[in-house]
Amino acid sequence: MSQFCDYSELDPVLDSWASRNGIQWIRRDRDWDVRSLWWSLPPPESVQLWLDVPANGQVGIHVCHNTTRGGQEHTEVSAAFTDIEAVLDERYETAQQFAQKLRKDLAPNQ
């Protein structure tokens, strides 16, 4: 069963933002419409940024990272459509910092 979620109001802004940052949104996950980014790290380490389905001119933007020790850090902010690019810039930087820290923690001691 497929789940349709309407991101059509945001897609032009999301696509422009992604193009500027040289990335592409994941748009389908297990037959669900999504807007998500993943950072590739050795399993089970992961970092993900995703957007909730927009409602009433607002969208929730999440950043989460999981560690091998079972830890998880999850943050969520709500952004107005008019502020989405600035908030995405900040949330993307947060996700990048999580990924860099996890990579550093996983690197063999030198």
Q: Is the pLDDT of residue 91 over 60?
A: yes
Tens of pLDDT, residue by residue over 39-85, are 766 666 778 888 988 888 899 999 888 766 666 777 899 999 889 99
Give the DSSP letter string of the chain. --B----TTTHHHHHHHHHHHT---EEEETTEEEEEEEE--STT-EEEEEEPPPBTTEEEEEEEEE-TTS-EEEEEEEEEGGGHHHHHHHHHHHHHHHHHHHHHHHSPP-
Show me where the domains of the chain are located: 11-106
Mean pLDDT of 81-96: 90
The pLDDT, as a whole number, for residue 110 is 44
